Chains A and B, each alone.
Chain A
Amino acid sequence: MKEQLYSYLLMLGDNSMILAHRLSELCGHGPSLETDIALTNISLDLFGQVRNFFQYAAELKGGDCTEDNIAYLRTEREYYNCILVEQANTDFAHVIARQFFFDQFQYLQLKQLEKSSDETIAAIAAKSIKETRYHLRFSSEWMRRLGAGTEESHIKTQAAVDRLYPFVDELFTASAIEKALSDAGIAMDPGTVKAEYEQETKTVLEEASLILPDAAPRFAQGKQGMHTEQLGYILSEFQYMQRAYPNMEW
């Protein structure tokens, strides 16, 4: 059980971390100063969530394990984030659509995890959900702006939705760990919130004059540690210092 809880925390943390990393790439390059600052706030919130999950995971692992060992010193196949969050910052429409699809899921997930039988997870969820509620508000509002703004923004945003929505299905396919831990009242079985997710998502997209593609879900097994080619590049940047200068304090 402890092994499973540890892996579950990595999955939760990795989702936030890889998305936070993508957002952090944008710092200094946003479409306006105000938006730049807002996206960095989201990135900082997510990194905060990562640290909470990983500090707890490190505690479970014991020994001299730290949040940084967990964050930095795994191989590609040992990261468990969903494929959605590692998708590139192709343009601002992709940034917002990726954020919106994730926020909507994360909000429902944290709402469940607030009731987790694991007190630490429940406490982290209770703190994080306030941040995520704001992220969702921000990304929903931007979906509406871009979807219903100009013709150009509509086309770009529909393209981002078409591209990213097929990765959403993965969020709702429970991994073996999610199944086992949700039976124990610790984790969420994501299948249980799928209908609500689809409903909420559809509402915002309709307001944004956007449609959900009926394309088949993409084959995605990030939760099992099988990623797209993009993650390797994220990690080679992310881990650069720790790999080039092993065992040093910073």
Chain B
Amino acid sequence: MSSEWPLFEVFIRSKNGLEHRHVGSLHAADDTMALENARDVYTRRQEGVSIWVVESRHIKASNPEAAGELFEPAMDKIYRHPTFYELPIELKHI
């Protein structure tokens, strides 16, 4: 029984103005079906106004073992945050 439908990831915009968010996955034979299945499975309670689906195998994910070199170098770049710069508190709108 190798006739399993491929896996898709589902992203839903809950309302206009918000971004699409990953909500889960499902199986479908093709992307048309994936979209319909996503509608039937993940928006039964008015969870969304827009759906994206993508076959899971098309997602390239970062490797957690590389998390050190990927993400830690940003940790000490505190000068990228507004609180790094000291200004007198009486100053407004800046």
Using CB atoms and an 8 Å cutoff, list the residues of chain A in contact with chain B. 32-35, 37-38, 41, 137-138, 141, 145
Q: Mark B1-30, 1 if CB is under 8 A from A, else 0.
A: 000010000000000000000000011110
Give Cα A32–Cα B33 distance, bound, in whole angstroms.
Answer: 12
Instruction: Please give the residue numbers on chain B whose beta carbons come within 8 Å of chain A beta carbons, in ascending order.
Output: 5, 26-29, 32-33, 36-37, 40-41, 44
How many A-B residue pairs have C-beta atoms within 8 angstroms? Tell me: 26
A138 touching B36, Cβ below 8 Å: yes
Residues of B within 8 A of A145 (CB): 29, 33
B32 to chain A, nearest CB (A): 6
Given contacts A141-B32, A141-B33, contact A38 B27 (CB under 8 A): no
| A141 surroundings in chain B (CB, below 8 A) | 32-33, 36
**Also in contact, A37 and B27, with CB within 8 A (given A32-B5, A141-B32, A141-B33):** no
Is A34 in contact with B32, judged by CB distance below 8 angstroms? Answer: no
A144 CB, min distance to chain B CBs, angstroms: 10
Bound CA span A4–B32, Å: 43
Provided the pairs A32-B5, A32-B27 are in contact, do residues A37 and B33 lie with their beta carbons within 8 angstroms? no
**Which residues on A sit within 8 Å (CB–CB) of B37?**
34-35, 37-38
With contact pairs A32-B5, A32-B27, A145-B29 given, residues A37 and B40 touching in the complex (Cβ less than 8 Å): yes
Closest-CB distance, B22 to chain A (whole angstroms)? 18
**Which residues of chain A have C-beta atoms less than 8 A from B36's C-beta?**
38, 137-138, 141
Chain B residues with CB below 8 A from A35, complex form: 37
Pair B5/A37 contact, Cβ less than 8 Å: no
A sample of 7 cross-chain residue pairs with beta-carbon separation below 8 angstroms, ordered by A number, consists of: A32-B5, A32-B27, A33-B27, A34-B40, A35-B37, A137-B36, A145-B33
Complex formed: what's the CA distance from A182 to B37 in Å? 38
A141-B32, A141-B33, A141-B36 known; A34 and B27 CB under 8 Å?
Answer: yes
The complex places the Cα of A226 from the Cα of B27 at a distance, in Å, of 42
- Smallest CB gap from B37: residue in A: A34
- Chain A residues with Cβ below 8 Å from B41 are 34, 37
Chain B residue numbers with a CB within 8 Å of A37 are 37, 40-41
Q: How far is the CA of A78 from the CA of B59 in the complex (A)?
A: 57
Could you tell me the distance between the alpha carbons of A114 and B6 in the complex, rounded to whole angstroms? Answer: 40
